[in-house]
Amino acid sequence: MKFSKDMLLLYAVTDRSWTQDQTLYDQIEAALKGGVTIVQLREKNLPEDEFVAEAIRVKELCSRYNVPLIINDNADVALKSGADGVHVGIEDTPVAELRQKVGKDFIIGATAKTVEQAQSAEKAGADYLGVGAVFPSPTKKNAIRITAEKLKEICSSVSVPAVAIGGISLDNVSEIKGCGMSGIAVVSAIFASDDIQKAASELKEKAKEVTASNI
C-alpha cells in the first residue's frame, strides 16, 4: 500500500488490556467502523508464531476498510504476515537497516523525541515519525514527556509527516493544535472506551480540527 500522510490522521495503537468481554479483533473492527485511518498492532507478550497468525487476520480485516496495518517493533512479523509496515522505537532495529531489508514500498515509522532523532530517522528512510509522549500516558507510565513547543519544533525540522502520541484524548487534544503533526495516535482513548466506534468517530473529527492548520 502506497503511503500518504493522510493515513496518519487517526492512528489507532492496539492494547489488549481493555478487551474484557470483546476480542481484540472485534475492538479493531469497531475502531475501523469509527473511521481510524491506520492501525498499529502492538503485542509485547505473544510468541512470534501467534503474533504472525493474529497479524494475518487483522491485515485481512484492515484491507476490507482500505486501512494500512503497521506492526509494532517486529519487522519479521510484519513481513511474514503481509502487513503494510512496521514501527520501531529508538532502541529497536535501526531504520537504515530495516529499509535495506524491506525495500522502498514498505512503510517504516520511527519514534522521535528530539530534533536530532527525527532528522536521523528521516535521513535513514523513515516514512513517518511518532512524536511523544505529549501528555501523561496510561500505557507507558515512564515515557519521556515532550512539550507542545518541542512537538512543533520536531515536526518543523523534517519533511516527513509526524503523528503525535501519548495520553491524547478528546479532552486534551486541542492543546496541541497547530503543532505541525499530520495526525494523532491514540491507545486508551479508543480501546478503553465503552463505545469504541463512537470514540473513534469523535476523535477523528477532533483530529481534523487540530491538524487543519498544518495542511
Residues of the chain with pLDDT under 70: 139, 213-215
Q: How far apart are the first and last CA of the chain?
A: 22
What CA–CA distance (Å, rounded) separates 138 from 1? 31
What is residue 166's predicted lDDT score, i.e. its pLDDT? 95
With a CB cutoff of 8 Å and minimum separation 6, the contacts of 30 are 22, 196, 197, 200
DSSP string, 99-113: HHHH-TTSEEEEEES
Angle at 62 between CA 182 and CA 70, to 5 degrees: 55
Query: Are 9 and 211 contacting, i.e. CB atoms less than 8 angstroms apart?
Result: yes
Query: Are 100 and 107 contacting, i.e. CB atoms less than 8 angstroms apart?
Result: no
Give the residue from 15, 112, 116 showing the smallest Cα distance to 72.
15
What is residue 103's predicted lDDT score, i.e. its pLDDT? 81
Give the count of alpha carbons within 13 A of 104, CB side only: 0
- If DSSP codes are grouped into helix, strand and coil, which group holds residue 85? strand
DSSP state of 142: T
Instruction: Quote the pTM value.
Output: 0.96
Q: Is 20 left (phi over 0), alpha (psi -120 to 50) or beta?
A: left
What is residue 132's predicted lDDT score, i.e. its pLDDT? 95
Q: Regarding beta strands 183-186 and 69-72, do their DSSP bridges make them parallel or antiparallel, or are they unpaired? A: unpaired
What is residue 214's predicted lDDT score, i.e. its pLDDT? 62
What CA–CA distance (Å, rounded) separates 190 from 80? 27
What is residue 213's predicted lDDT score, i.e. its pLDDT? 66
